[in-house]
């Protein structure tokens, strides 16, 4: 994708996003992704040698190989969002093989999905693209619906099918979060023992995070703290939604924060808000990947490119985008994922 195409897609937001040059937290303070990521960052840690190899296998695959950035296709929505809701727009993805084929054809670093999806085609594809097994889910078949992440298998199962990494979700702030933190902490410890990398979906979930009609589930301060809890249990990569506002702690009047979070460490600019998320990932020592969000149709490409630019310029490590890609015709899904990757390959889109 040419720079002119990027500018055209961004429209009136282009100048604000591409020319932003004065972040509250300077570039010199964060660890920026690069080709030497494992040597520079993870070789200093307590991760085992097999785990370093697994992280490098993800970073060394696909179109973004050896850049330090990642593009991951996640297709685990069939559990919480229901298979019908997820795959009716494109029924070919009821077949797990097409999920893996999309990730390969699009040049993704890895494919993330369920035990069932990846296990069903493991012998054919586990050696062709890195597998990330999502180990817990929130299921919406039970009535009434509840918001809880439960384990669907074991770390040993993920390892046996050739996975190089496991992913999990914690609903930070929920009534069940303490149990989820304990479960995922133990699972990640076991994954590292077996030489796998770990990715944590750090989502906030509590009805009290909606105050006076405003939703703070994606506020920079609350999501930033969720990230900080995630790296505390040694997630190697943090997956987080792009921040949409700030001041969640101020609105809910719970927990603890500091005035400088809002005056000195962040502003209303989306790159600044995302930079604060990066800061909470040990200043970027654990890579921040932002999620692509739901498919909205014609605006998906522009939204995906915008998210990628914000993430990269904030110091993040990439994008994990699913529904915007697999709910389209196969070739269009490939093009959308390639457009995201083009942002991370572009020398004109730099870290602010």
Catalytic residue numbers?
A: 239
Supply the DSSP symbol for 219: B
**Terminal Cα-to-Cα distance of the chain (whole angstroms):** 20
Sign of CA dihedral 151, 153, 156, 162: negative
List C-alpha distances in Å: 242 to 38, 44, 159: 25, 29, 30
CB 129 within 8 A of CB 161: no
Mapped onto helix, strand or coil, the DSSP state of residue 70 is: strand
Environment class of residue 180 by beta-carbon count within 10 Å: exposed (0-12), middle (13-18) or buried (19+)? buried
Distance CA 118, CA 100 (A): 8
**Cα dihedral 120, 123, 127, 132 sign:** positive
């Amino acid at each position: 994708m040419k720079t002119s195409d990027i500018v055209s897609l961004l429209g009136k937001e282009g100048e604000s996003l591409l020319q932003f040059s004065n972040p509250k937290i300077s570039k010199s303070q964060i660890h920026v992704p690069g080709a030497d990521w494992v040597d520079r960052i993870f070789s200093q840690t307590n991760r085992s040698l097999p785990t370093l190899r697994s992280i490098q296998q993800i970073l060394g695959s696909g179109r973004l190989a050896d850049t330090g950035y990642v593009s991951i296709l996640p297709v685990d929505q069939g559990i919480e969002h229901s298979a019908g809701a997820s795959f009716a727009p494109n029924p070919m993805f009821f077949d797990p093989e097409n999920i893996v084929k999309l990730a390969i054809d699009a040049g993704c670093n890895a494919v993330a999905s369920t035990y069932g999806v990846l296990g069903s085609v493991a012998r054919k594809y586990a050696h062709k693209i890195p597998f990330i097994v999502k180990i817990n889910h929130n299921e919406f078949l039970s009535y009434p619906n509840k918001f809880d992440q439960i384990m669907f298998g074991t770390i040993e199962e993920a390892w046996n099918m050739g996975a190089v990494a496991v992913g999990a979700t914690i609903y930070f702030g929920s009534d069940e979060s303490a149990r989820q933190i304990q479960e995922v902490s133990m699972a990640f410890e076991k994954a590292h023992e077996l030489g796998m990398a770990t990715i944590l979906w750090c989502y906030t979930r509590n009805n009290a995070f909606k105050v006076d009609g405003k939703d703070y589930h994606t506020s920079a301060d609350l999501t930033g703290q969720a990230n900080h809890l995630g790296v505390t249990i040694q997630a190697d990569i943090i997956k987080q939604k792009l921040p949409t506002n700030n001041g969640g702690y101020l609105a809910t009047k719970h927990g603890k924060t500091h005035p400088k979070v809002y005056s000195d460490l962040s502003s209303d600019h989306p790159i600044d808000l995302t930079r604060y998320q990066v800061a909470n990932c040990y200043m970027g020592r654990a890579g921040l990947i932002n999620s692509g969000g739901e498919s909205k149709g014609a605006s998906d490409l522009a939204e995906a490119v915008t998210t990628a630019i914000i993430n990269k310029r904030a110091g993040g490590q990439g994008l994990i985008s699913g529904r915007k890609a697999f709910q389209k015709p196969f070739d269009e899904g490939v093009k959308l994922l390639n457009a995201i990757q083009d942002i991370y390959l572009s020398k004109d889109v730099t870290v602010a």
